[in-house]
Amino acid sequence: MARITAGVGVSHVPAIGVAMDTKITDQPYWQPVFKGFEKSREWMKEKKPDVIFLVYNDHCTAFDASCIPTFALGCAAEFQPADEGWGPRPVPVVKNHQKLASHIAQSLILDEFDITIMNEMEVDHGLTVPLSVMYGDMTPEDEWPALVIPLAVNVVQYPAPTGNRCFNLGKAIRKAVESFDEDLNVVIFGTGGMSHQLQYKRAGLINAEWDKRFLDLLTEDPVFASKIPHVEYLREAGSEGVEMVMWHVMRGALDEEVVEVHRHYHVPASNTAVGHIILENKAA
Amino acid sequence: MARITAGVGVSHVPAIGVAMDTKITDQPYWQPVFKGFEKSREWMKEKKPDVIFLVYNDHCTAFDASCIPTFALGCAAEFQPADEGWGPRPVPVVKNHQKLASHIAQSLILDEFDITIMNEMEVDHGLTVPLSVMYGDMTPEDEWPALVIPLAVNVVQYPAPTGNRCFNLGKAIRKAVESFDEDLNVVIFGTGGMSHQLQYKRAGLINAEWDKRFLDLLTEDPVFASKIPHVEYLREAGSEGVEMVMWHVMRGALDEEVVEVHRHYHVPASNTAVGHIILENKAA
Amino acid sequence: MSMKKDYEDIPGTFVFDADRSREGYHLNQFCISLRLQKNRDAFNANEEAYLDKYPMKPEQRDAVLKRDWNRLLELGGNIYYTSKLAANDGINFQNLAGLMTGMGVDAYRDMMLNGGRKVDGNRFKKEWGEE
Amino acid sequence: MSMKKDYEDIPGTFVFDADRSREGYHLNQFCISLRLQKNRDAFNANEEAYLDKYPMKPEQRDAVLKRDWNRLLELGGNIYYTSKLAANDGINFQNLAGLMTGMGVDAYRDMMLNGGRKVDGNRFKKEWGEE
Ligand SMILES: [Fe+3]
Ligand SMILES: [Fe+3]
């Protein structure tokens, strides 16, 4: 049977992708950002997930304003890195575990999650930057070491799904994975955040104290964390900080009690606080 | 405040649209189909809804297989009748109450329904045939007497949302409508069905007994009706009979107790059993 | 995978689930492209060349060219898609059903006028002598 | 309509809700079109002619032509969309923020290096002397 063994929370700042793609990660500005992922890359090598279930948001790339799904599950065979306005990232094409993806889609809909099924989709930095930081440098000729099932969450147009809804979606994803008859080690990623505001006169807001409390809660009291209302993210963590609702999907898919095996926090990467956590199920 | 005063269940057989568009409704084949809508057209004139919330399914017209939303709510200013392969129907463009539509979208997402917001969408016979049978002949130069908010439900790729999910969505739509500060008379339509199978060797299946029981339950025991599992629709009412899950959205938006003011049932229209019911809230 | 399909014992019926949808994807995308007149014109001018744009399996392509309506469904086609190919050929839903059932258009129409196909005897594959 | 907006008292911030999305629709669709090189080329060759394809309001069009980044947001633009216009001009997210805040690119970068904008004093409009 397939099982979810661990969860990864990680920011997906586009400038981090640019830093890797332009080979400037050892510059003083970037060095401390990447230092915090050294242990993560070791962990990935040990953990060797067969499949990554990757929760992210599209940044007006694959989805324009004509069609805005709350939850869009990628069921295509593969996903090309998108041109976001400055050319596609030079990273491998993302390959799906198509049977597991459509099994999850069916299971979620019967569990009363109103998923949108995507049979064609390009993926932007929201999906590829987490893979890059966790796996290290890769060229388009390489293959990502794991298959990837993308779940795109609307966090651009208000309202994003509630934290509670995301948390319960995580539980339903776990149930779906565990009812799949192939022996697969699945790791789930929740991405985005942490505190940041990209727009208007309050741009540049960072709230390190709030972010650290969020990381603490995620490990220790995830149900409480999932009840944080949208307005708190917006006010305390910046208008784009609301991306953090996606971390609750990851957390909901794990055991109630988890072991925090790694944490990394750094300000800034471009406009954003970089946060990262690795949580393992105890039984795993 | 806006309020939902009544619900309409009605089949949306494409051949019914063709019969109206080609002016053959008084032929012996069609006459009994349309006879049953005479009272409905009178009722619409009396009832004068400001807005129709119209639950229907797209038949691989606006949505191809690349993107399959479970629930897609139309938030565009207007919706053009689509070319489904034999030219667009000669009926008026469908105009939205855009503010109410986006109010409902927001309210539903905060109520944990994972709606897809559509800001551009063409509409097929699933939406225009119910308007035609309820309002009578209209030309593209006319205006539909009501504004229309379309909700497209996936019933083409298995699984459709459950009956229970649809019923609860109806309740959430009602709550959203009632929290909108404009005095509006809203009527909700659930469309599709009744029993029919369009495909393969069992095509032509009709189950009048099952259909009539469904209509009875809809009036008298809607919660029980909403628990009917997918396999029962598929087996008893034909593979395309599963469209009837959309009637539960309509029923869920009404009071527990309703008055059945009209019913019509006829076999056949093309491959399909035509069913129609009008339910009013008692207080309305 | 391990999700049991409680609808698989219904005779003469394909439930268009994720497995069928995956199998029929390019076939169905081809069919829906015929919704638009310019695509119908291109297809009708040169079917083979038009089909080259859709990476479907050889047997799917063959079923399209032969208008083998049942085979299209067996290979992952869905009726709402294949009906667009039928519409291009001037075949409406009812006549398509006449062909798929093997009854022929007139006998099918008569059956519908007489109340349609009864559900008794048509609920389970075993009633059709299938397993 | 009667849904109360509990986020309206946050200073220097637009929450891109349904009302803003409706207002900014054509503006945002224009911006996202610049995701693709062929559209960037067409826009850069003749901005006015390219903008004619998008039925936006005159003041939105004017703000595009003037690259008035804050005005774009005030008129229903969303940062993920307007950043595509900025990218076309060679302005990245950080430098765009430098412009929108009125701080200028260098002072903004320095603020970020020093831990970013503090939340204290930046939670409520009244803290900014706004209402
Ligand atoms: Fe992001
Ligand atoms: Fe239908």
Q: Give pLDDT, residue D102.
A: 96
> Which residues of B are marked as active site?
125, 196
- Ligand nearest to the CA of residue B124, numbered in listed order: 2
pTM over cut 0.90: yes
Q: Give pLDDT, residue B274.
A: 98
% of residues, chain C, pLDDT over 90: 96
**Per-residue model confidence as pLDDT tens digits over B113-161:** 999 999 999 999 999 999 999 999 999 999 999 999 999 999 999 999 9
Mean pLDDT, rounded, for B45-71:
97
Chain A contact present for C3, CB below 8 A: yes
Catalytic residue among A59, A97, A196, A264: A196
**Residue B160: its chain A contacts at CB < 8 A?**
109
Do A89 and A110 form a contact (C-beta atoms < 8 A)?
no
Asked if residue A268 has a cis previous peptide bond (ω within 30° of 0), the answer is yes
Nearest by CB to residue D122, choosing from A82, A205, A231, is A205
Chain A contact present for B283, CB below 8 A: no
**Per-residue model confidence as pLDDT tens digits over C85-124:** 999 999 999 999 999 999 999 999 999 999 999 999 999 9
Nearest by CB to residue D117, choosing from A15, A159, A206, is A206
Chain D contact present for A208, CB below 8 A: yes
């970013």: which residue's tokens?
D116
Give CA–CA dist A127/B248, Å, rounded: 37
Q: At what angle do helices A125-135 and A14-21 cross, to 10 degrees?
A: 50
Integer-rounded Cα Rg, in Å, for chain B is 17
Give CA–CA dist B256/B7, Å, rounded: 12
Q: Give pLDDT, residue D1.
A: 47
Chain D contact present for B105, CB below 8 A: yes
Tokens of C44: 């009708």
Where b means 16+ CB within 10 Å and e means fewer, B199-237 reads bbbbbbbbbbebbeebbebbbeebeebbebebbbbbbbb
Give CA–CA dist A254/A279, Å, rounded: 8
Do A180 and A103 form a contact (C-beta atoms < 8 A)?
yes
Q: Give pLDDT, residue C111.
A: 98
What is the C-alpha end-to-end distance of chain C, expressed in Å? 20
Give CA–CA dist A58/B36, Å, rounded: 49
**Residue A119: its chain C contacts at CB < 8 A?**
21, 25
Consecutive 10-residue runs of chain D (131 residues): their mean pLDDT?
A: 83 97 97 95 98 98 98 98 96 96 97 98 97 76
Q: Give pLDDT, residue A87.
A: 87
Give CA–CA dist D51/D63, Å, rounded: 12
Does position B284 have pLDDT exceeding 60, yes or no? no
3-state SS of C8-61?
A: CCCCCCCCCCHHHHHHCHHHHHHHHHCCCHHHHHHHHHCHHHHHCCCCCCHHHH
Chain B contact present for A98, CB below 8 A: no
DSSP 8-state code for residue D128: G
Give CA–CA dist D121/B67, Å, rounded: 44
CB atoms within 10 A of CB C30: 25
Q: Which residue of B has its CA nearest to D17?
A: B106
Mean pLDDT, rounded, for A23-52:
98
Closest CA of chain B from D25, distance in Å: 8
Task: Give the contacts of B141 (CB within 8 A, at least 6 positions apart).
Answer: B92
Does position C1 have pLDDT exceeding 60, yes or no? no
Which residues are bridge partners to A54 per DSSP?
A150, A189
Mean pLDDT, rounded, for A249-275:
97
**Residue B75: its chain D contacts at CB < 8 A?**
18, 22
Give CA–CA dist B176/A159, Å, rounded: 14
Which residues are bridge partners to B276 per DSSP?
B10, B264
Mean pLDDT, rounded, for B17-46:
98
**Per-residue model confidence as pLDDT tens digits over B223-251:** 999 999 999 999 999 999 999 999 999 99
CB atoms within 10 A of CB D129: 7
Counts of helices then strands in chain B (DSSP H, E): 10, 11
Give CA–CA dist C124/A97, Å, rounded: 33
Collapsing DSSP to helix, strand or coil, D80 comes out as helix
Most distant CA pair in chain C, distance: 46
| CA B125 from centre of chain | 11
How many whole angstroms from B192 Cα to the centroid of ligand 2? Answer: 5
């099932």: which residue's tokens?
A149
How many whole angstroms from B124 Cα to the centroid of ligand 2? Answer: 10
Q: At what angle do helices B163-178 and B98-110 cross, to 10 degrees?
A: 120
Q: Among positive and negative, which fits the CA dihedral B241, B246, B252, B257? A: negative
Do A152 and A56 form a contact (C-beta atoms < 8 A)?
yes
Report which of D84, D8, D9, D79 is spatially closest to residue D43, judged by C-alpha positions: D84
Q: CA neighbours within 13 Å on the CB side: how many for B274?
A: 28
Which phi and psi (to 5°) does residue A260 adopt?
-85, 110
Give CA–CA dist B200/C77, Å, rounded: 11
Where b means 16+ CB within 10 Å and e means fewer, C42-58 reads bbeeeeeebbeebebee
**Per-residue model confidence as pLDDT tens digits over A142-172:** 999 999 999 999 999 999 999 999 999 999 9
Collapsing DSSP to helix, strand or coil, D69 comes out as helix
DSSP string across A146-209: SEEEEEEE--SSSPPPPHHHHHHHHHHHHHHHHT--S--EEEEEEE--SSB--SSTTTTB--HH
Tokens of A77: 């065979």
| CA A182 from centre of chain | 24
Does position A208 have pLDDT exceeding 60, yes or no? yes
**Residue D50 belongs to what H/E stretch?**
helix D47-51
């329904």: which residue's tokens?
B113
Per the rule left: phi > 0, alpha: psi between -120 and 50, beta: everything else, D12 is: left
**Residue B14: its chain C contacts at CB < 8 A?**
93
Q: Which of B114, B115, B167, B173 to mutate to test the interface with A (most CBs of A within 10 A)?
A: B114
Report angle CA A274, A276, A280 to the nearest 5 degrees: 175
Q: pLDDT band at B87, cuts 50/70/90? A: confident
Which residues are bridge partners to C117 per DSSP?
B205
Q: Which residue of A has its CA nearest to D7?
A: A231
Give CA–CA dist B183/A252, Å, rounded: 41
Nearest by CB to residue A85, choosing from D18, D34, D115, is D34
